[in-house]
């Protein structure tokens, strides 16, 4: 089993981790051979669960920890962090 890699990202889009953003994240994660987990405080969620991501209550300005493990872990981490940085492709 490969080791976990971890990075903190800031939620910068205006609406935070709402349903559309969570769906984009789940769709992105499905393209990688990696386990992707997100956490904020005591809450944790797998990146393949829209509901789990919504329960993180990741509002603008909060920090989310992204953890990836598996053959595509590095690529998955880069893609997830880029999605956060691109504000989930939202206007604001």
Can 38 be counted among the known catalytic residues?
no
Q: Which residue in 7, 18, 20, 62 is the catalytic one? A: 18
- CATH code, domain with 17: 3.30.1340.10
Sheet holding 63-69, edge to edge: 5-10, 63-69, 35-40, 43-46
5-48 per-position pLDDT tens digit: 999 999 999 999 999 999 999 999 999 999 999 999 999 999 99
Q: Report the predicted TM-score, pTM, of the whole model to 2 decimal places.
A: 0.94
Distance between CA 9 and CA 14 in Å, rounded? 15
pLDDT band at 50 (very low <50, low <70, confident <90, very high): very high
- State the total domains in the chain: 1
53-72 per-position pLDDT tens digit: 999 999 999 999 999 999 99
Distance between CA 58 and CA 34 in Å, rounded? 22
Cβ neighbour number for residue 21 with a 10 Å cutoff: 23
- Could you tell me the residue range of the domain that residue 62 belongs to? 5-89
């Amino acid at each position: 089993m490969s080791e976990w890699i971890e990075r903190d990202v800031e939620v910068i889009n205006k609406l935070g981790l709402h349903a559309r953003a969570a769906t984009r994240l789940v769709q992105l994660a499905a393209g990688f051979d990696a386990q992707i987990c997100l956490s904020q405080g005591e809450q944790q969620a797998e990146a393949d669960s829209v509901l789990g991501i919504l329960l993180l209550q990741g509002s603008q300005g909060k920090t989310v920890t992204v953890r990836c493990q598996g053959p595509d872990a590095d690529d998955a981490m880069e893609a997830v962090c880029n999605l956060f940085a691109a504000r989930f492709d939202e206007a604001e």
